[in-house]
Chains A and B, each alone.
Chain A
Amino acid sequence: MTIVATDSPAAPALRRFALRGYVPLFPPFAVLLLFFAVPIGMMIGISFQDPKTAQFSLGSYQRFLTDGLIIAGLFRTILMSGLVAICVTVMAYPVAYFLARSTSRWRAIVFALAIAPELAGVVLRTYGWLIILEDRGFVNDALIWLGLVSSPLPLAKNLFGVVVGLTHVVLPFGILALLTSIQGIDPNIEKAAQILGASRLSVIRHILLPLSIPGTVSSLLISFTMAASAYATPALLGGARFKVLATMISEQIMFYINWPMAAVMAIVLLVLMLAITFAGGRVETRLHKKLNV
């Protein structure tokens, strides 16, 4: 019905009908405009206001670039997200490979184990890690009881704790990203290499790893962006002094009541996300072209 002959007598009727096709879009568009597009626009507007007088001002942007604490928070965000991206991808790889290649009945169980935690929500998992990692937690109790350490190790309320917690939160997404990629590699290619005399290690090095680079990139990408925009895990596992962009934003809203500053921080986070997604997307397309997959 997309091609309508101009000389056909049915044309006007069909065209009127085509317009009616847009009617169902009104409700979802209205909701997205009112509660998404307009608020984002207002947020951008507010970022150019002076916190006190509401006059036009670039002050908040200036402060963002010059305030050492804020810049430190930005770099802490990038460092934390980078570490999480690496940990997630390294840990996701063996699981994804197993899920892609296994035909045993364990496959379903491993799949459920890998994905199920996602249903539990962030709070439960963060709480779990807190009681495992805190000073009087599980791991420290065990270490002291074994006599390996005399005082509790600082496992929570710092970068280490946050990276552990976030890795756990993001891991299922890394597994899914790599799984899709590895499933796309024809297992016969691996067999062909083995027939040609390649050892397991050379198959991994020369076949599997190069061919799964697109999956690795998308796993790194999704892990980085999820970690950088995470709020609850850094807030709970990081403690009061571990500040990243997400927690600093909520602090600006709830404690300092400095809307322009919160808006600026949110915009920086948004731009960081979009830039990484865009750059990563370009890298992925190029890899896909190169590998012809």
Chain B
Amino acid sequence: MSDIDIELISVRKTYGNALVVGDISLSIPKGEFVSLLGPSGCGKTTTLNMIAGFQQPTGGEIRIRGRNQAGVPPEKRNIGLVFQNYALFPHMTVAENVAFGLRMKGAPRAEIDQTVNTALKSVHLEGFEAHYPKELSGGQQQRTALARAIAPRPSVLLLDEPLSNLDLKLREAMRVELKEIQQQLAMTFVYVTHDQEEAMAMSDRVVVMSGGVIAQEDKPENIYNAPRTSFVADFIGKSNILPVSAVRATGDQREITINHSNISLAVGSDQAGPPAARFCCIRPEDVRIIGGEAFAEGANVLDGTISKIVNLGAHLDLWVTVDRDITIKALVRSSRSDQLKTGNHVSISIAPAAIRLLHE
């Protein structure tokens, strides 16, 4: 148990009749980078606030390093928190901001100075000690907030959408840096975000939340390649989610029929998909347009008409109508844009292994 930093046991939060977080259980081992990922209102920020101690759970238990936190105020939890708007103290310099936590604990002067230096060095902010927050750029404010949070060496660092106020370029650079800092410090990070790319890029484990409960909890690659529900499949990356009316097994091969259509698709045998699957998920990049691209032996082939094309630069988003109500999205390289025009009749192929069966 000693290597578990945070443990949530059936944690629940309600406001009157409204359920915000419903019976979440989660253990986070020491040194792990965990993301709580979900759309706004999914309960991820409330969960973070309960771990920090700003909100009290209505039911269940939160343990930090094995100790029940009920009744422990935030200032006694030894946790770091990076705020979305940074919440830097505007009347203090960068160095004073970073020193604040240690100063409040009454640490000796020399230790404070040394820790401030190390913290600023680790976020590459040497030389900005005497600046006030309003004299800093967004990225520098962000780094200051990070340095302030890690300076008192908390065992756990909570991050509440810390990159959402930065522009795209900086955001991508900071992802790499945050991950490096986390590994260097070997500190447990709990990262709240609605940005799936961020979660994917940095996390050891992603916890997808929806409607106050955990929809799926796994390694990033598994979340993407093996979504458990249509919500996860839809929320993470792009996907075609088609309703399934029947699943038949013939030998070790399975075949599904798409609802309200005559389309049947062979499904890979490797997945022990639930027999009562109600949806299937196909990633657009797994859909091939025949003619030009080679396709694997034994793939499903469907005929259709291109109904819409959106140019994304390097790639094209293609909508292919294969039956009256069924349209499948495909992602193809832009170099083929000459051959593909709206209204063209095309054949598409989908490898059986690329089709995921989902039961909800």
Interface set of A (CB-CB < 8 Å, partner B)? 3-5, 7-10, 13
Q: Which residue of A lies closest to B55 (CB)?
A: A3
Whether B71 pairs with A3 at a CB distance below 8 angstroms is no
Could you tell me the distance in whole angstroms from the C-beta of B20 to the nearest C-beta in chain A?
A: 11
Whether A9 pairs with B15 at a CB distance below 8 angstroms is no
Whether B56 pairs with A9 at a CB distance below 8 angstroms is no
Within 8 Å of chain A (Cβ to Cβ): is B170?
Answer: no
CB neighbours (8 Å) of A3 from chain B are 15, 56
Could you tell me the distance in whole angstroms from the C-beta of A203 to the nearest C-beta in chain B?
A: 41
**Which label, helix, strand, loop or mixed, suits the secondary structure of the B interface?**
loop
CB neighbours (8 Å) of B59 from chain A are 5, 7
Whether A10 pairs with B71 at a CB distance below 8 angstroms is yes
Which B residues between 65 and 101 are near A, CB-CB below 8 angstroms? 70-71
Whether A8 pairs with B15 at a CB distance below 8 angstroms is no
Contact with A along B1-27 (1 / 0, CB 8 A): 000000000000001000000000000
In the assembly, what is the distance between CA of A8 and CA of B71, in Å? 8
Whether A10 pairs with B70 at a CB distance below 8 angstroms is yes
Within 8 Å of chain A (Cβ to Cβ): is B222?
Answer: no
Contact with A along B56-67 (1 / 0, CB 8 A): 111100000000
Q: Which residue of A lies closest to B58 (CB)?
A: A5
Whether B71 pairs with A9 at a CB distance below 8 angstroms is yes
**Which label, helix, strand, loop or mixed, suits the secondary structure of the A interface?**
loop
Please report the total number of B residues contacting A with Cβ < 8 Å: 7
Which B residues between 155 and 183 are near A, CB-CB below 8 angstroms? none
In the assembly, what is the distance between CA of A8 and CA of B53, in Å? 13
Whether A5 pairs with B71 at a CB distance below 8 angstroms is no
CB neighbours (8 Å) of B70 from chain A are 8-10
In the complex, which of the residues B15, B56, B70 has the most CB atoms of chain A within 10 Å of its own CB atom?
B56
Could you tell me the distance in whole angstroms from the C-beta of A212 to the nearest C-beta in chain B?
A: 36
Could you tell me the distance in whole angstroms from the C-beta of B103 to the nearest C-beta in chain A?
A: 25
In the assembly, what is the distance between CA of A13 and CA of B71, in Å? 8
Could you tell me the distance in whole angstroms from the C-beta of A6 to the nearest C-beta in chain B?
A: 10
In the assembly, what is the distance between CA of A5 and CA of B15, in Å? 10
Could you tell me the distance in whole angstroms from the C-beta of B201 to the nearest C-beta in chain A?
A: 36
CB neighbours (8 Å) of B56 from chain A are 3-5, 8, 10
CB neighbours (8 Å) of B71 from chain A are 8-10, 13
Could you tell me the distance in whole angstroms from the C-beta of A21 to the nearest C-beta in chain B?
A: 15
CB neighbours (8 Å) of A10 from chain B are 56, 70-71
Which 5 pairs between the two chains have the least Cβ-Cβ distance? A10-B71, A5-B58, A9-B70, A8-B56, A9-B71
CB neighbours (8 Å) of A13 from chain B are 71
Q: List 13 A-B contacts (CB under 8 A).
A: A3-B15, A3-B56, A4-B56, A5-B56, A7-B58, A8-B56, A8-B57, A8-B70, A8-B71, A9-B70, A10-B56, A10-B71, A13-B71
Q: Which residue of A lies closest to B14 (CB)?
A: A5
Q: Which residue of B lies closest to A5 (CB)?
A: B58
Could you tell me the distance in whole angstroms from the C-beta of A227 to the nearest C-beta in chain B?
A: 43
CB neighbours (8 Å) of B58 from chain A are 5, 7-8
Could you tell me the distance in whole angstroms from the C-beta of A167 to the nearest C-beta in chain B?
A: 43
Could you tell me the distance in whole angstroms from the C-beta of A66 to the nearest C-beta in chain B?
A: 60
CB neighbours (8 Å) of A9 from chain B are 70-71
Could you tell me the distance in whole angstroms from the C-beta of A1 to the nearest C-beta in chain B?
A: 8
Could you tell me the distance in whole angstroms from the C-beta of B54 to the nearest C-beta in chain A?
A: 8
In the assembly, what is the distance between CA of A3 and CA of B54, in Å? 11
Q: Which residue of A lies closest to B54 (CB)?
A: A1
In the complex, which of the residues A8, A9, A13 has the most CB atoms of chain B within 10 Å of its own CB atom?
A8
Could you tell me the distance in whole angstroms from the C-beta of A58 to the nearest C-beta in chain B?
A: 54
Which B residues between 43 and 60 are near A, CB-CB below 8 angstroms? 56-59
CB neighbours (8 Å) of A7 from chain B are 58-59
Could you tell me the distance in whole angstroms from the C-beta of A244 to the nearest C-beta in chain B?
A: 49
In the assembly, what is the distance between CA of A4 and CA of B55, in Å? 9
Could you tell me the distance in whole angstroms from the C-beta of B221 to the nearest C-beta in chain A?
A: 39
CB neighbours (8 Å) of B15 from chain A are 3
In the assembly, what is the distance between CA of A290 and CA of B77, in Å? 52
Q: Which residue of A lies closest to B72 (CB)?
A: A10
Q: Which residue of B lies closest to A3 (CB)?
A: B15
In the assembly, what is the distance between CA of A242 and CA of B59, in Å? 73
Could you tell me the distance in whole angstroms from the C-beta of A7 to the nearest C-beta in chain B?
A: 7
Could you tell me the distance in whole angstroms from the C-beta of B341 to the nearest C-beta in chain A?
A: 45
